[in-house]
Amino acid sequence: MKVLNNRVSIVCSCLFFMLFCWIVITLLSSRFLETFSYIFFIFIREYGVFSTITNRILLCGALLSLAFLVIGAKKFDAVLHSLIFCLCIGFIYFIVFTSIQHPKPMQDIASLLLIESSIDHRSVIESIWDYKARIFLSSFVYIFFIFLPLAFSLFHITPNTKSYAGNLLEILKPSLEIVVIALFASAIQPFYLKANFYEYIDLAVFVLGTIFLCVVLIQQRPKLDFYGYSNIVLLFLGIIVVALCSNILASSDQYFHVRYMLYAFVFVAWYAEWGYNYIMQS
């Protein structure tokens, strides 16, 4: 399993710890403190706090792209240079797209929960169609940031770095840290009281990914530093907290704004990771 111990991984681990603490505190407060019982629902509303942070993370990705284009102009080859340029355009597009949308009137919590309870009666086809963007994004994260890197390690698949394609695959392969953070992002879902069949598939895929990670850790025992062990501990603590607070997550499907935020963080962290390593090695 690819394990990195550099400045970028340390910064990403510290930022992950901050996001983890904030998510856990809001969940536990809504679950056990009557005074703050609606704080999580306030944060997950559309155009709320989590959506704002997602845009800030994407903005960091755009700025990172500009930095790579300037600093690594003579270091990145044509393919990576084109990839960085496309990612820069993509980050800017998502930021502008979400900014120009006209926000809906902010709903009170009672109205929000009433609407959420009314849409639980949709058919499976209707639910899949309504959530097609979520399903596509989750599938992308599961495949490219969880199962592929874990499968490479589990089945001892090593890219041929002598070929350009193999070398490119090795450069872009997510590290163990990225896999752990992606798994935590996928853990943000109700473990019971699910409204749709596909949500049980989501849970089953997450459990399978967690099992894959445990098998890789037991078989290979990668040499991790303090931050690597901390990220793994945070993952399993997060799973316990989500299990305790599943009734909160099941009350509104807008919990996915938390996953959007973490998905954005995973993508930018992976981007910073391989870009920094390539520049340092060139």
217-268 pLDDT, tens digit each: 998 888 788 888 999 999 999 999 999 999 888 888 888 899 999 999 999 9
d(CA 62, CA 33): 38
pTM of the model: 0.90
pLDDT band at 76 (very low <50, low <70, confident <90, very high): confident
User: Would you say 264 and 16 are in contact if contact means Cβ atoms under 8 Å apart?
Assistant: no
Place of tokens 């163990």: 176
| CA-based torsion, 249, 40, 133, 20: positive or negative | negative
pLDDT at 119: 47
Task: Give the mean pLDDT of 16-42.
Answer: 90
pLDDT band per the 50, 70, 90 thresholds, residue 33:
confident
Residue 200, classified by CB atoms within 10 Å of its CB into exposed (0-12), middle (13-18) or buried (19+), is exposed
* pLDDT tens digits along 115-168: 454 445 556 666 676 778 888 999 999 999 999 999 998 888 888 888 888 888
Flag whether pLDDT at 199 surpasses 70. yes
Looking up tokens 């510290």, which residue turns up?
14
How many whole angstroms separate alpha carbon 235 and alpha carbon 249?
A: 17
Identify residue 282 by its one-letter amino acid code: S
Report helix, strand and coil shares of the chain as percent, to nearest 5: 80, 0, 20
